Chain A
Amino acid sequence: MAQGIRQEFRDELHQLEAQAMGGLDLVVTQLDRALEAMKYQDVELAGMVIMDDDRIDGRYLEVNQGVLGLLARQAPVATDLRVVAALLHIIRCVERMGDQCVNMAKLVPLSGFEAPKDKVILDHIEKMGICARQQVGFAREAFQSRHVELAQDLVRQDAEINRLNRAIFQRAVAVGDDPEVREWAMFMVLVARCLERVGDNTVDIAEQTVFVVTGLFREFTHNEG
């Protein structure tokens, strides 16, 4: 049997993987803009984030339909089958992370143009944003290079996002008596929740990486971090 007898299939699979990974790049862009809009109360930029979610949704449809077509026409097996199944899962994560960026962007006008701010909460949100962005990048790199250790390390990284999320909640509870500050803090709790969910989605992608490499699906626990 000649090498690359299913070259057309292989090309299609690589193309689909590239599209899914490109979806993660779109998420990073949306995340950056949503965080910037939040930081500078930039309602216009927030509006762009909301509009541009269509691109991520479109990417989801492309990969989803590509995967279905590949399953129907090529009947992939073994590692190929695991990659195809993982891509279906990953593109779903991409779409959800895009939605979280939209959720954050929608909170920008609600949180007020000159909102009273709490520096501790703002610092934590900024750190969470940096962590979430890094995790999306690492999730992409781990999957693309089939790097099991890098994938497993995402659990450890995600623990930091979770810690910051809890810290923001506690700070919001104790932020003071000013109703405006408390309202603003409640919005920040929602933003933190969005970032925490982005982190969880990167861990899901990491789990898919390990599944593709080992053939065994195992949900990561934070004890592993």
Chain B
Amino acid sequence: MNPPFPDPGLGLPGPATMPEPGPGVAAAPRVEVAGLRAFYGDVEALAGVDLEVPANAVTALIGASGSGKTTLLRCINRLHEEVPRARLEGRVTVDGIDVYGPAIELPAVRRVVGMVFQRPTPFPSMSVYDNVAVGLRLAGARGPAVRETVVAALEVVGLWDELGHRLGVPAVSLSGGQQQRLCIARALAPDPAVILMDEPCSALDPIATLRIERLIGELTANHTIVLVTHNMQQAARVADTIVFMMDGRVIEHSPALELFTRPRDVRTERYVTGNFG
């Protein structure tokens, strides 16, 4: 079990082969990508990516627009396949389990690999409480376990102290920063082992951004984070390792400090110093 979340009692009939966070299971799996090629129609967005994402750490993906960062992220939780004419080749595993394996069902993948998007995407017609609870209910959870999980998730993202007395207000009435933290709470509720974040702070002010960054650091105690960001200072602040991508390939994967002080590849050097031709 990944504390502090109580067991939501999902009772999903998901494939037994998908790693379920629970007693005796590693706190957070490592994601491995091997020979991954992704296409949008005839356009190759990923041209053979090999990557190992360390457990309980923040891995930031950086690179110019169109370098394949978001596509890679969307391949990890199988969002890529929902784009018309999109396809992929290669292998993505979470704790050694192929998320594209024939026995693996999509809901099980999404439960283990959560996602937070660029802009806050709360369900506009739902309250704060229901936004966090909806995923649990869809997964079959009922009773006190739902409330316990919602409260725990809101506490982790720092919203319980701010909104605990008015969980019934519409989610859209919150500030942008609160909405994004609400979305993170929603992603946390099913207790995913991996959380994918696609520029989660790009629409936020500096204070809200710092809160999210601090939260990201705290989440690594129980989760593995993959973060796409265009903000290199943010990558330097929050990431343990950084992956520089270009033209659908991983150019360099290094510890954050090393990449920003002594990059190994001249293309990384050019990109991070803004001297890219």
Contacts and interface: CB of A to CB of B under 8 A. Distances in A.
B260 A78 contact: yes
Interface in A1-58: 1, 3-6, 9-10
Contacts of A79: 269, 273
Nearest to B268: A78
Count chain B CB atoms within 10 A of each CB in A77, A81, A216 and give the residue with the most. A77
A76 B261 CA distance: 9
Given A77-B232, A77-B236, A82 B261 contact: yes
Given A1-B64, A3-B277, A77 B272 contact: yes
A78 B233 contact: no
Contacts of B268: 78
A81 B260 contact: yes
A215 interface: yes
Chain A residues touching B, majority SS? loop
A80 interface: yes
Nearest to B233: A75
A82 B257 CA distance: 12
A220 B275 CA distance: 32
A6 B275 contact: yes
Nearest to A216: B262
A216 B271 CA distance: 21
Interface residues of A, number: 17
Nearest to B258: A215
Contacts of B261: 77-78, 81-82, 215
Contacts of A78: 260-263, 268-269, 272-273
Contacts of A1: 64, 271, 274, 276-277
Interface in A63-111: 75-82
Contacts of B232: 75, 77
Nearest to B64: A1
B275 A215 contact: no
Contacts of B272: 77-78
Interface string B176-193: 000000000000000000
A5 B269 contact: no
A4 B275 contact: yes
Interface in A145-165: none
A81 B269 CA distance: 11
A75 B234 CA distance: 11
B262 A80 contact: no
B91 to A, nearest CB: 32
Contacts of A75: 232-233
User: Which has the most chain A C-beta neighbours within 10 Å: B236, B272, B274?
Assistant: B274
Interface of B: 64, 232-233, 236, 260-263, 268-269, 271-277
Given A3-B275, A5-B276, A75-B233, 19 more contacts: A1-B64, A1-B274, A3-B276, A3-B277, A10-B275, A76-B273, A77-B261, A77-B273, A78-B260, A78-B261, A78-B262, A78-B263, A78-B268, A79-B269, A81-B261, A82-B261, A82-B262, A215-B262, A216-B262
27 contacts: A1-B64, A1-B276, A3-B275, A3-B277, A5-B275, A5-B276, A6-B273, A6-B275, A9-B274, A10-B275, A75-B232, A75-B233, A77-B236, A77-B260, A77-B272, A78-B261, A78-B262, A78-B268, A78-B269, A78-B272, A79-B273, A80-B273, A81-B261, A82-B261, A82-B262, A215-B262, A216-B262
